[in-house]
Every structure is written in structure tokens, then in C-alpha cells.
Amino acid sequence: MNRITKLGLAAALIALPSLGLAQEADVTPPNEEIGYILNTFMFLVTGFLVMWMGAGFSMLEAGLVRSKNVAMQSLKNVALFAIAAIMYYLVGYNLMYPGDGWTITNVLGAFSPASMEPVGLADTETDLTYASVGSDFFFQLMFCATTASIVSGTLAERIKLWPFLIFTVILTGLIYPIQASWKWGGGFLDANYGFLDFAGSTVVHSVGGWAALAGALILGPRIGKYKDGKTHPMPGSNLTLATLGTFILWLGWFGFNGGSQLYMDTAGNVADISRIFANTNTAAAGGAIAALILTQLLYKKPDITMVLNGALAGLVSITAEPLTPSLGAATLIGAVGGILVVFAVPFLDKLKIDDVVGAIPVHLICGIWGTLAVCLTNGDATFGGQLISIVIVGVFTFVVSSVVWFILKATMGIRVGEEEEISGLDMAELGMEAYPEFTKG
């Protein structure tokens, strides 16, 4: 062993002069490439942070469903992420970012699969002011997957696997990219209404929320949830996992909001990304503390699941404008989100809308709040422009989603049978359990 170490050291010493030579040869990238390199690098790092939000959603949902549905919920989460990745490649990316190739100008993008630059950027005139197409595609695809993740939590414990996955195909391939093109692809909401949505309180979160709401209304509540005019809670199976999931989402959100700065090529941009990270963090803290104090006051005991929702509510609320607020303003914007969630969860129960994980309060209601809150700190936003954009995106997503859910319900059925639902989707649809009590050794 010792000998080998010595040999290795000797080899390193022999190699040293040649290393020196390599350093002498100038491999510093030309100045005009540095911005491109940093932008691209930023997209890759923030992109994989957003990808990790898929783990956050999985753990949050696995923790908040009952143990008899945990394996199914985990399967839905991994499957929807994979579907989003494929659909965004096949149609989503160019539908969302058509450039000059709109099918209907500023309304409907281009129908073609995504493609990247050739290996080593060979024989291309690369626009060095932005980032590589590959990194942009990778980053944007994660937002599409996030939208789909929101839906699965609401509809948990009673929806059939395959109709849910078919809906995911349509959501990630068509619904999400089409409405996202209206703002981020330079479409009419961006061009004509002055709509501002920095990282997607509306474009991502409320869209997931609207699709979930349509699904929840058409699917109906879980058996026994609302009986004799009362709500019967169905406590989640693992609040440790739900907490881990929330922290993973919190971490991923730095990529979500920070990466949406889109540029890291100047001191100003890097400083802005820092502002965004700090504001995103403090908004989550504000939301969590608001929910903590409010549930203590309302129910005499704090509700951990509400505090987790509160943190996420703060994150969604700051997502439409994480750059311009001060730390104080960001905290308050997040705190309002936390308060909204604590009231919205029982309110939905009153309407008999069964949302297993609280995705509608967190993503839809706080998505709307966050989008309106842009006006508080960003002088470029107009209340009317924000409001009409929320309505247009909401109506489009809700109507198209409802139509898809109805067609699925009429053709293949979207709900498992009563017996399957009561015995749990894990055994009924998968024939396995997440937590088998007795193993065969």
C-alpha cells in the first residue's frame, strides 16, 4: 500500500513539469464567451435544483396520503416527471418558445420536437449573449414537470393511474406550454398586457392548481371525507417524509426563482440572483411562521401539516416577483400566503372539494396572491394587467382541463371502485405495499 502511494507521488512529481506547460498555454476562454459560459452553467445548476423539487413533491405527497396509498403516490410522481420530460421534448419546448415560428402569432407556438446545438457547437453561429439551447431546454423542462406534480397531490388516493397519466401527457405537452408561451414565449400576455410573472406564480403554480381543481371537482371527494355535513380528516401516514419533502421543495425553489433571472453574466445579474435567493428564503420563513402562529391561535395546537403548507405558500407567493421586494416586504408577502392557506384549507372542505395535500390553497390561491402582489414592489406592473392575465390563464387551463377530465371520465373512467379505494390503491392497482407489515424474509 505504502509503496503504491510512493509510486503515485513519484508519478505526480514527474507529471508536474508538463502540468506547468499546460498552464503556460493560454486556455482562458475569450472574453465574449465568459457570459455564455456562466449563463449556461447557472441554468444547469438551477435546473437540477428544480428537478429535485420532483423529490420534494413525492415525499410531501407520500407523507400526506394514508399508508395504503403510498406506493401508488410515489409511482405517480416518478411517472409524471418522466412523462413531462418526454412531452416537453416532443412538443412542449417549441410550443412554448417558438421564436419566429408561431402557428398563430402570439397565441399558438410551433409544433416540432426540441433539438440542441451540435456537439462542440461545431459549424454554428452561436448567440453568445444568452446560454446554450441545451441548458435552456433542460431548465425549462423542469418547470413543466413541476406543474404536473401539483396535480397529483390533490387527486391522490382515489384516481386511477392511467387516466391520470393521460391527463399528464396533455397537461405537459399542450396545456402548460401553450399558456406559458403567452408570457414567457413572448406571446400576447407579454406583448399586449404587460403581464409580469418572474418565475411562475401564475404560469406554473396556478396552472397546476387550476388543473387540480378541475380534476377534484369532476373526480369527487374520497369516500367518507364529507359525511353528515361534517369533514372527516384522514391524517397522513408520515409527517417526517412530508417535512423532508417541504425542505426539498424549499431548496429547489432557489433554482426555480434564482434561475429565472436567466442571466449570470454581469455583477448586476449575480447580485440580483442573490437578492432572489434571500427573498425566496425569507418568504418561505414568513409563510411558515404565519401558519404556525395562526394554527396555534385558531386550534390551540399548531398543525405541522399547515406549517409545511405555509412554507410552500410563502414560496409560491414570492415566485411572481422575488427580485424587487426588500427582505421585509418578501417576508410579509410570504406571511400573507401562509395566512391564506390556513383559511383556504377548511374553506375548500366546506365546499366539499377534497384536496389531499392542500395543493389548491398553496399553488392556486397563493399563485393568484403572488401574481397580484407584484404590484406592491414593482412599478412596472399594473393591477389590471396582472388580473386579466390571471383570469385568461385560469379560464384557459380550467376549461381545457375540465374537458379532458370529462372525456377521460366518459371513456375509461377516472375513479377506482369503492372496494379498491377503501382497501387502498397500493394493493388494488399495484399489488404491493409501500410498508408491508410482514415480509417473506
Name the residues that contact other proteins, by CB under 8 A: 230-233, 235, 298-301, 303, 305-306, 342, 345-346, 349, 358
Q: For other proteins, give the closer residue by CB, 337 or 358.
A: 358
- Quick one: which of 142, 141, 150, 182 has its CA closest to 168? 150
Q: How far is the CB of 343 from other proteins (least distance, A)?
A: 8
Min separation Cβ 234 and other proteins, Å: 8
Q: Which residues have a Cβ under 8 Å from the Cβ of 327 and sit 6 or more positions away?
A: 278, 279, 282
Give the C-alpha separation, 248 to 264, whole Å: 24
Instruction: Pick the closer one to other proteins by CB: 352 or 415.
Output: 352
Shortest gap between Cβ of 434 and other proteins (angstroms)?
Answer: 18
User: What is residue 105's three-state secondary structure?
Assistant: coil
- Cell 399558438: give the residue: 108
Nearer to other proteins, 175 or 342 (CB): 342
Closer residue to other proteins, CB minimum distance, 246 or 282: 246
* DSSP H/E element including 135: helix 133-154
Which residue's CB is nearer to other proteins, number 146 or number 309?
309
Whether 198 and 257 have beta carbons less than 8 Å apart is answered as yes
Rounded to 5°, angle at Cα 309 from 48 and 212: 75
Helix axes 304-319, 366-377, angle to 10 degrees: 50
All three cell numbers of 332, joined, read 410579509
Residue with smaller CB distance to other proteins, 347 or 383: 347
Shortest CB 288 distance to other proteins, Å: 15
Length of the chain: 441
Smallest gap, in angstroms, from Cβ of residue 253 to other proteins?
23
Residue 20 or 235 with smaller CB distance to other proteins:
235
For 359-375, the DSSP string reads: HIIIIIIHHHHHHHHHH
CA distance 4 to 379: 66
* 3-class secondary-structure state, position 102: coil
SS (H, E, C) 169-218: HHHHHHHHHHHHHHHCCCCHHHHHCCCCCCCCHHHHHHHHHHHHHHHHHH
Residue number, 299 or 383, with CB nearest to other proteins: 299
Alpha carbon distance 40, 205 (integer Å): 25
Q: How far is the CB of 233 from other proteins (least distance, A)?
A: 4
Nearest distance in Å: CB 75, other proteins: 25
Q: How far is the CB of 406 from other proteins (least distance, A)?
A: 29
**Smallest gap, in angstroms, from Cβ of residue 347 to other proteins?**
9
Q: Which is nearer to other proteins, 272 or 303 (CB)?
A: 303
Among candidate residues 254, 237, 251, the one with its CA nearest the CA of residue 357: 237
